[in-house]
Structure 1
Amino acid sequence: MYLSVFCTVPDQKTAQRIAQTLVHEGLAACVNLLPGITSVYRWEGEVQENSELLLLIKTQQARYNALEARIKELHPYQVPEIIAHKIEAGSKDYLDWIAESTR
Protein backbone atom coordinates (compact mmCIF):
# COMPACT_ATOMS: atom_id res chain seq x y z
CA MET A 1 0.00 0.00 0.00
CA TYR A 2 1.16 3.51 -0.82
CA LEU A 3 0.58 6.76 1.04
CA SER A 4 0.59 10.51 0.49
CA VAL A 5 1.54 12.21 3.74
CA PHE A 6 0.78 15.87 4.43
CA CYS A 7 3.01 17.87 6.75
CA THR A 8 3.05 21.64 7.21
CA VAL A 9 6.28 23.46 8.08
CA PRO A 10 7.03 27.07 9.04
CA ASP A 11 9.62 28.00 6.38
CA GLN A 12 11.59 27.00 3.28
CA LYS A 13 14.72 26.02 5.21
CA THR A 14 12.78 23.56 7.39
CA ALA A 15 10.92 22.22 4.34
CA GLN A 16 14.14 21.54 2.44
CA ARG A 17 15.87 19.97 5.45
CA ILE A 18 12.99 17.56 6.14
CA ALA A 19 12.44 16.74 2.44
CA GLN A 20 16.13 16.08 1.77
CA THR A 21 16.47 13.90 4.87
CA LEU A 22 13.37 11.79 4.14
CA VAL A 23 14.39 11.13 0.54
CA HIS A 24 18.08 10.57 1.38
CA GLU A 25 17.17 8.04 4.09
CA GLY A 26 14.73 6.17 1.82
CA LEU A 27 11.70 7.03 3.93
CA ALA A 28 10.10 8.91 1.03
CA ALA A 29 10.38 8.54 -2.73
CA CYS A 30 9.47 12.17 -3.35
CA VAL A 31 8.54 15.25 -1.36
CA ASN A 32 6.80 18.20 -3.02
CA LEU A 33 7.24 21.56 -1.30
CA LEU A 34 4.13 23.67 -1.79
CA PRO A 35 4.69 27.30 -0.71
CA GLY A 36 2.22 30.06 -0.08
CA ILE A 37 -0.34 28.47 2.20
CA THR A 38 -1.95 30.17 5.17
CA SER A 39 -2.97 28.03 8.11
CA VAL A 40 -5.63 29.10 10.61
CA TYR A 41 -5.79 26.86 13.66
CA ARG A 42 -6.42 26.75 17.39
CA TRP A 43 -3.35 26.31 19.60
CA GLU A 44 -3.33 26.56 23.38
CA GLY A 45 -6.79 28.14 23.40
CA GLU A 46 -5.94 30.88 20.89
CA VAL A 47 -6.77 31.13 17.20
CA GLN A 48 -3.52 31.43 15.24
CA GLU A 49 -2.82 32.35 11.60
CA ASN A 50 0.56 31.71 10.00
CA SER A 51 2.21 31.37 6.62
CA GLU A 52 3.48 27.84 6.04
CA LEU A 53 4.59 25.42 3.37
CA LEU A 54 2.95 22.05 2.79
CA LEU A 55 5.08 18.96 2.27
CA LEU A 56 3.39 16.31 0.12
CA ILE A 57 5.33 13.12 0.82
CA LYS A 58 5.00 9.86 -1.16
CA THR A 59 5.93 6.63 0.60
CA GLN A 60 4.90 3.06 1.35
CA GLN A 61 2.71 2.05 4.30
CA ALA A 62 5.57 -0.14 5.56
CA ARG A 63 7.78 2.98 5.96
CA TYR A 64 5.16 5.15 7.66
CA ASN A 65 6.13 4.61 11.32
CA ALA A 66 9.80 5.38 10.63
CA LEU A 67 8.82 8.38 8.49
CA GLU A 68 6.56 9.79 11.22
CA ALA A 69 9.24 9.34 13.87
CA ARG A 70 11.86 11.04 11.68
CA ILE A 71 9.59 14.00 10.92
CA LYS A 72 8.98 14.45 14.65
CA GLU A 73 12.75 14.46 15.27
CA LEU A 74 13.37 17.09 12.60
CA HIS A 75 10.29 19.29 13.00
CA PRO A 76 10.35 22.48 15.10
CA TYR A 77 6.66 22.27 16.10
CA GLN A 78 5.65 20.62 19.36
CA VAL A 79 2.77 18.86 17.52
CA PRO A 80 3.51 18.76 13.78
CA GLU A 81 0.76 18.01 11.30
CA ILE A 82 1.41 14.51 9.94
CA ILE A 83 -1.61 13.11 8.09
CA ALA A 84 -1.44 10.08 5.81
CA HIS A 85 -3.88 9.28 3.01
CA LYS A 86 -4.01 5.96 1.19
CA ILE A 87 -3.24 6.14 -2.50
CA GLU A 88 -6.20 4.22 -3.90
CA ALA A 89 -4.91 4.07 -7.48
CA GLY A 90 -2.02 5.36 -9.54
CA SER A 91 0.27 4.68 -12.44
CA LYS A 92 1.85 1.25 -11.95
CA ASP A 93 5.20 2.64 -13.08
CA TYR A 94 5.02 5.47 -10.53
CA LEU A 95 3.92 3.19 -7.70
CA ASP A 96 6.72 0.75 -8.58
CA TRP A 97 9.16 3.66 -8.41
CA ILE A 98 7.88 4.59 -4.93
CA ALA A 99 8.42 0.98 -3.82
CA GLU A 100 11.93 0.88 -5.28
CA SER A 101 12.87 4.24 -3.76
CA THR A 102 11.66 3.39 -0.25
CA ARG A 103 13.04 -0.11 0.25
Structure 2
Amino acid sequence: MAVVKMVTTLPGDWKEFEVGEWAHTLVENLVVACIQIERIRSMYRWDGEVTSEDEWRLMMTTTTEKAPILAKLIEKKSPYDTPQITWTTVDASDSYSTWTEEVTK
Protein backbone atom coordinates (compact mmCIF):
# COMPACT_ATOMS: atom_id res chain seq x y z
CA MET A 1 0.00 0.00 0.00
CA ALA A 2 1.05 3.61 -0.39
CA VAL A 3 0.80 7.01 1.29
CA VAL A 4 1.64 10.51 0.09
CA LYS A 5 4.45 12.52 1.69
CA MET A 6 3.95 16.23 1.06
CA VAL A 7 6.46 18.93 2.00
CA THR A 8 6.05 22.65 2.51
CA THR A 9 7.92 25.37 4.38
CA LEU A 10 6.97 28.24 6.65
CA PRO A 11 8.99 31.34 7.58
CA GLY A 12 11.81 30.84 10.06
CA ASP A 13 10.78 33.89 12.08
CA TRP A 14 7.53 32.19 13.03
CA LYS A 15 7.47 31.00 16.63
CA GLU A 16 7.20 27.27 17.25
CA PHE A 17 3.67 27.64 18.62
CA GLU A 18 2.59 29.49 15.43
CA VAL A 19 3.89 26.67 13.26
CA GLY A 20 2.21 24.19 15.59
CA GLU A 21 -1.14 25.98 15.30
CA TRP A 22 -0.83 26.11 11.49
CA ALA A 23 -0.08 22.38 11.38
CA HIS A 24 -2.71 21.50 13.98
CA THR A 25 -5.53 22.78 11.77
CA LEU A 26 -4.50 20.36 9.01
CA VAL A 27 -4.56 17.38 11.37
CA GLU A 28 -7.73 18.58 13.09
CA ASN A 29 -9.51 18.95 9.73
CA LEU A 30 -8.66 15.34 8.77
CA VAL A 31 -6.49 16.34 5.81
CA VAL A 32 -3.26 14.81 7.11
CA ALA A 33 -2.51 11.86 9.35
CA CYS A 34 0.65 13.36 10.84
CA ILE A 35 3.19 16.13 10.35
CA GLN A 36 6.89 16.19 11.21
CA ILE A 37 8.18 19.71 11.85
CA GLU A 38 11.82 20.78 11.84
CA ARG A 39 13.96 23.90 11.50
CA ILE A 40 16.04 24.09 8.34
CA ARG A 41 18.21 26.51 6.36
CA SER A 42 17.06 27.08 2.77
CA MET A 43 19.03 28.57 -0.11
CA TYR A 44 17.22 29.64 -3.26
CA ARG A 45 17.01 32.21 -6.02
CA TRP A 46 14.35 34.91 -5.62
CA ASP A 47 13.97 38.09 -7.69
CA GLY A 48 17.29 37.39 -9.42
CA GLU A 49 19.24 37.08 -6.16
CA VAL A 50 20.54 34.04 -4.29
CA THR A 51 19.30 34.20 -0.73
CA SER A 52 19.48 31.98 2.33
CA GLU A 53 17.00 31.97 5.18
CA ASP A 54 15.91 29.93 8.17
CA GLU A 55 12.60 28.16 7.65
CA TRP A 56 10.40 25.48 9.12
CA ARG A 57 9.94 22.33 7.04
CA LEU A 58 6.71 20.40 7.41
CA MET A 59 6.57 16.85 6.07
CA MET A 60 2.99 15.66 6.03
CA THR A 61 1.52 12.20 5.54
CA THR A 62 -1.79 11.94 3.73
CA THR A 63 -3.69 9.74 1.30
CA THR A 64 -3.64 9.90 -2.48
CA GLU A 65 -7.24 11.10 -2.35
CA LYS A 66 -6.49 13.94 0.08
CA ALA A 67 -3.23 15.11 -1.58
CA PRO A 68 -4.89 17.56 -4.04
CA ILE A 69 -7.04 18.98 -1.23
CA LEU A 70 -3.98 19.41 0.98
CA ALA A 71 -2.03 21.13 -1.81
CA LYS A 72 -4.85 23.65 -2.30
CA LEU A 73 -5.09 24.30 1.45
CA ILE A 74 -1.36 24.93 1.70
CA GLU A 75 -1.49 27.32 -1.24
CA LYS A 76 -4.39 29.18 0.41
CA LYS A 77 -2.95 29.24 3.96
CA SER A 78 0.74 29.82 3.18
CA PRO A 79 2.20 33.26 3.88
CA TYR A 80 4.50 32.84 0.87
CA ASP A 81 3.73 34.17 -2.63
CA THR A 82 5.06 30.93 -4.10
CA PRO A 83 4.91 28.24 -1.43
CA GLN A 84 6.88 25.06 -1.78
CA ILE A 85 4.37 22.27 -2.32
CA THR A 86 5.99 19.01 -3.36
CA TRP A 87 4.86 15.45 -2.87
CA THR A 88 5.64 11.90 -3.70
CA THR A 89 3.79 8.66 -3.30
CA VAL A 90 5.74 6.17 -1.22
CA ASP A 91 5.27 2.55 -0.32
CA ALA A 92 4.22 2.02 3.28
CA SER A 93 3.38 -0.90 5.50
CA ASP A 94 -0.19 -2.11 5.36
CA SER A 95 -0.78 -1.07 8.96
CA TYR A 96 0.57 2.47 8.43
CA SER A 97 -1.40 2.91 5.20
CA THR A 98 -4.56 1.69 6.90
CA TRP A 99 -3.99 4.02 9.85
CA THR A 100 -3.45 6.96 7.47
CA GLU A 101 -6.72 6.18 5.71
CA GLU A 102 -8.62 5.81 8.99
CA VAL A 103 -7.47 9.04 10.64
CA THR A 104 -8.17 11.18 7.57
CA LYS A 105 -11.79 10.07 7.07
The alignment's TM-score, normalised by the length of structure 2, stands at: 0.88
* Cα distance in 2 for residues equivalent to 1:55 and 1:62: 19
1:14/1:85 Cα in 2 relative to 1: closer, same or farther (>3 Å)?
farther
* Cα distance in 1 for residues equivalent to 2:73 and 2:21: 12
- 1:31-87 deviation per Cα after TM superposition (whole angstroms, max 9, x unaligned): 11112x100000111111100111010001111111111111211000110100111
The aligned length equals 101
Where structure 2 has 5 or more consecutive residues not aligned to the other structure, the ranges are: none
Q: Could you tell which deviates more after superposition, 47-56 or 10-19?
A: 10-19
Q: Are residue 45 (structure 1) and residue 48 (structure 2) matched?
A: yes
Q: What RMSD over aligned residues (CA atoms) do the two structures have, in Å?
A: 1.3
1:62/1:71 Cα in 2 relative to 1: closer, same or farther (>3 Å)?
same
The residue aligned with 2:100 is: 98
Q: Percent identity?
A: 30
Q: Tell me how far 1:15 sits from its aligned partner.
A: 2.3
3-state SS of paired residue (2:66)? helix
Q: 8 Å contact 2:3–2:92 — kept in the other structure?
A: no
* Cα distance in 2 for residues equivalent to 1:94 and 1:5: 16
Query: Runs (4+) of structure 1 moved beyond 6 Å?
Result: none
Where structure 1 has 5 or more consecutive residues not aligned to the other structure, the ranges are: none
1:60/1:28 Cα in 2 relative to 1: closer, same or farther (>3 Å)?
same
Matches within 5 A, 1:22-101: 22-35=26-39, 37-87=40-90, 89-101=91-103
Q: Tell me how far 1:17 sits from its aligned partner.
A: 2.7
Q: One-letter code of the match for 2:5? A: S
